[in-house]
Every structure is written in C-alpha cells, then in structure tokens.
Amino acid sequence: MYYPRSFLKFILLGFLLVSLPLVYALAEVIFSLERLQAQGQEAVQQAAQAGRTSRQLFEQSSTLERIVRQHLILEDPALLEDYARVRQEFHQTIGQLAQLPLEPRQQAVLQSLADSEIALQTMLVSPQRGPDVQAQLANGYARLADGAQGTFAATNQVTERAIVRLQETASQGRQKWLYLAFATAGIALALAIVFAVLIARPIRQLDIAIRRMGTADFTHAIEVNGPQDMRYLGQRLEWLRARLHELEEQQTRFLRHVSHELKTPLTAVREGAELLRDRVAGDLSPGQREIVRIVRENTLQLQKLIEDLLTYHQTRALEVRAVETVMLSDVVRRVIKEHKLAAFARMVTFDARLPQAQVVGDSDRIRTIVDNLVSNAIKYSPRSGTIEVSVALEPDFAVIDVADAGHGVDPVERERIFDSFYQGKPPMEGRVKGSGLGLAIAREYALAQGGRIEVQDRADGKRGAQFRLWLPRVAAAGAAANDASTGAAPVAASSPATMAGGR
C-alpha cells in the first residue's frame, strides 16, 4: 500500500479520492441537464418552424389559387409574373417542411403537393386552354390549397413527437441519475471505509503499543505502518520500549541482588534474636525480653517485605509453568487452616461455603492468590469479625468471593489498589501496614491463570470489601467424570462450614 510522506497528505488524498465519484456524478448531472436543455430548445424551434412554414404554405397555395382565377378571367400577363414569384416561395416552403422530422407518409404528401403544382403550372402556361382546362386549373388549385391546409396536422404531430421525446429523455435521465447516485454513493462509501481503515491502522497500532507499555508489557516489538511521520513515531516508541525493557531488567537484577544481600545479614540478626529469646546466653530481664521481641518482630516484617519483592518481580516475568487440574475447595480449606492462628489472635471467624470445584492452573500460584486475599481480609477485619469465603460455579469459571467486615475500599481506590506498592486506608486498630504487593501479585497470578480479580461492594449490602476471583474451570464432562471416580459430593451452598479462630 502506497503511503504519502505525511499523515496529513494521506488524509487529504483520502478526501480527494472519496470526493472524485461525487464530483463525477455532479458533472454528469450538469452535462445531462445541458443536453436536455439543448434538446428542448431544438424541439421548440422545430415546432415553431413547423407551425410557421405550414401556415405560409397554406397562405401561398391560397395566393396561387387567387392569382390563377384572376388570370383566367382577366388574361393579364403581369399576373403570371406574380404567380412565378409566389410559386418559387411555395416550393421553398415545401423544401423547409421536408427538412423537418416528418413521417414518410407526410413527406409523400409534400412531394405530391409539389408535383401537383408543377402539373398545374404546366397547364397554366400552355398556349391552348379550353374551357375544360380552365375548369381543371380552378379545381386543381382549390385541391392544392386544401392539401396545404392539411399540413397543419402533420406539423402538430411533429410537435407532439418532440414533446414525447423530451419526456422519454427526461425519464431516462432520471433513471440514469438514480443509478449514478447509487453507484457513486457506493463507491464513495467503499473508498471512505478503505481510507478509514488505512488511517485508523497506524493510530490503532500506536494505541495498542501505548497500552502495552502502560501495562509494563515490553516484550512485544512496536511496528507502525503508514506514512513516514507515523512510522518515525513508531520507531521512537520502539526505542522507548527497548529502553524501558532494559531499565526494567536492570531494576529486576538490582532488586534481586539487593534482596539477596539483605537476607544474609537479616538472617544473622533474626537467628541472634531467636537465641536471645530462647535464653541461650542466659536469662534476660523484662526490659531485655521486650527489646528482643521488638527486634524479632521487625526482622520478620523485613523478611516478609523482601520475600514479597522477590515474589512480585518473579510474577512480572510470568514464566510458563505446567498447568494441572486443581481442586479449588481443597486449596481454600488449606489456606484457611494455615491462617487459623492469625485469625485466632484477632478472634476472627471464617464462614466458608465450599462446593467441589475443579479449575485449571498452577496450584502454587492459585494458593498464593487465595492466601493473599485471605491474609488481606484478616488484616482489615475488626476484632471478632467474620470473613465470608464462598465458591460458586459458572459455565466457564469458578468464582471465589472473600468478604470482610472492615471499612471497605473507596470507589476511587478500586483501580489503584492492585498497583504495585499502593496502600489504601490503614487497617483498623492501628495494625502495621503491609508492603502493598500482595494484591498486585494476586492480580498478576490471576491473569497468568486466564482469570481475573476485582474488588466490589458486598453483595449483601453489609459493610466491608468483597474480592471476587474468577478462575477457568475444567470442562464439564471432565469434572463430572472426576467427581464420579472420587465419589465426592459437593457441599451445599446453604450449609456453611464455620472455622473459628476462637474468642
């Protein structure tokens, strides 16, 4: 496809080509109207000429009859001179009528009039004229006048045929203009669609490239087709993508190295704190034990932050891992069991509705997603609160809902809450903030599994936040066969299984 050097020139070229069929149609209409006008003027002139010449022919034939009658009575030679002049005009008028578009029968009538006049003139100039000849001359010129009067009907037919031709021409012109309008409109529309696609293609390619870069996807090369200025813009974006990809790899390597270097001294500090807490170096005073406790808790928090950083940057690579059939309800039960002590410390209970559901994915990543959602719900739940965990089945997905009774998530924060290192309102009762990576890791893993995750208002209208996770299910036939082989019966959604941390 040929593209001009400038995108603006390409747009102008598109408008020009789209307008060409319309300009052609307009020119064709103008020329057709001019032809119709010329044909109408010609028809009007022919009708006027036909009426005028037919009237002249009748007047000339009447004059010839009158001159002949006078000559027969007066025998005046001067009358023959007048007869010769009028006779010449009579034949000229017949010639003018013969040039009109008359029918063959009408042409024959005119020729008959001319022949009759010639025959009568021969008899008139004959030196020997008896009474019978004079009577024939009188009757002959009378019939000649009557025949000339009959040409009025022929000229009227000429006018009528001209009107009919004009009507037919106008009808054909209307039909032609209609076809031309549809054809030019179709061609213009097709050209407009083609140029719209060609104009939108580089813009769409730029939009896709910018969206990928906005989601930190730097793995796809950017190629923009189109005019030279758009290709140049695509090349600059490709340079920017390569540069950002290089910087991200440098950042990942830097964080990996820093995290590794931090974990070595941190491990030593943590082990020292554990030895002091276990009184290996002797008994500690109450104040010393409090200091050891503070050091131990902060080292654990710092270790968790480092592990979150490493985990998050591992998710950015989204390396391909083997997928398997995962029993989702078992994963959720195992995660709830692992958080039993943390829930017990805050007197939080779990209301779990977990029917049997099989999904396709990486069991470790699915466990990490559920673990982040459950730990986040525990952190934001008030003391003695209840966390509702449920699994529902859709035709193509299994849906996990984790709802807490905290202060919820503001609508303005619901998009940003899955961003890296973003933290919303602090948890209740002044608990320590997290790293801001748990939900980001959960979303990355969910997308890698072919699912998605969202935060919503609670469906029952109560206070708190509800996180909903979609994961692709195993095919219905495969799930039914597996349920039949294991003999597993789904847990009724209306009969919750309560796992309490205690009061």
Q: Are residues 22 and 115 in the same domain?
A: yes
Q: What is the pLDDT of residue 275?
A: 78
Chain centroid offset of residue 282 CA: 78
* pTM (predicted TM-score): 0.44
Residue 125 · residue 83 · CB < 8 Å: no
In a domain, 214, yes or no: no
- The per-residue pLDDT for range 155-201, each reduced to its tens digit, is 677 677 777 777 777 777 778 778 877 888 888 788 788 877 877 78
Q: Are residues 305 and 348 in the same domain?
A: no
In a domain, 170, yes or no: yes
Q: Are residues 304 and 188 in the same domain?
A: no
Q: Are residues 165 and 250 in the same domain?
A: no
Question: Residue 51 belongs to a domain with what CATH number?
Answer: 1.20.58
Q: What is the pLDDT of residue 427?
A: 58
In a domain, 206, yes or no: no
In a domain, 416, yes or no: yes
Q: What is the mean pLDDT of residues 44-60?
A: 77
Q: Which residues contact 146 (CB under 8 A, 6 or more apart)?
A: none
Q: Which residues contact 12 (CB under 8 A, 6 or more apart)?
A: none
Q: Which residues contact 320 (CB under 8 A, 6 or more apart)?
A: none
Q: Are residues 32 and 127 in the same domain?
A: yes
Q: Are residues 434 and 336 in the same domain?
A: yes
Residue 97 is part of which domain span? 7-195
Supply 129's token pair.
Answer: 């004229």
- The per-residue pLDDT for range 284-318, each reduced to its tens digit, is 788 877 887 778 777 777 777 777 666 666 655 54
In a domain, 221, yes or no: no
Residue 458 pLDDT class (50, 70, 90 cuts): confident
- The per-residue pLDDT for range 192-240, each reduced to its tens digit, is 888 778 777 888 888 888 888 877 777 788 888 877 777 888 888 889 8
Q: How far is Cα 64 from Cα 60, in angstroms, rounded to an integer? A: 6
Q: What is the mean pLDDT of residues 21-38?
A: 79
Residue 366 · residue 328 · CB < 8 Å: yes
Tally of domains within the chain: 3
Nearest 5°: CA angle at 64, between 58 and 66?
105
- The per-residue pLDDT for range 67-117, each reduced to its tens digit, is 877 877 777 778 778 888 888 888 888 787 777 777 777 778 778 888 887
Residue 498 pLDDT class (50, 70, 90 cuts): very low
Q: Pick the last residue of a domain from 311, 344, 377.
A: 311
Q: What is the pLDDT of residue 171?
A: 79
Question: Residue 293 belongs to a domain with what CATH number?
Answer: 1.10.287
Q: Pick the last residue of a domain from 149, 179, 195.
A: 195
Q: What is the pLDDT of residue 399?
A: 92
- The per-residue pLDDT for range 424-442, each reduced to its tens digit, is 665 555 444 555 677 888 8
Residue 65 · residue 145 · CB < 8 Å: yes
Q: Average pLDDT over the chain, rounded to whole?
A: 76
Q: Which residue in the block uniquely carries the two structure tokens 């080509």?
A: 17
Q: How far is Cα 414 from Cα 410, in angstroms, rounded to an integer? A: 7
Ordered alpha helix ranges (H), 318-362: 328-338, 340-345
Q: Are residues 342 and 307 in the same domain?
A: no
Q: How far is Cα 222 from Cα 239, in angstroms, rounded to an integer? A: 9
In a domain, 446, yes or no: yes
Q: Are residues 451 and 350 in the same domain?
A: yes
Q: Pick the last residue of a domain from 287, 311, 335.
A: 311
Left, alpha or beta for 318 (phi > 0: left; psi -120 to 50: alpha)?
left
Supply 168's token pair.
Answer: 């037919």
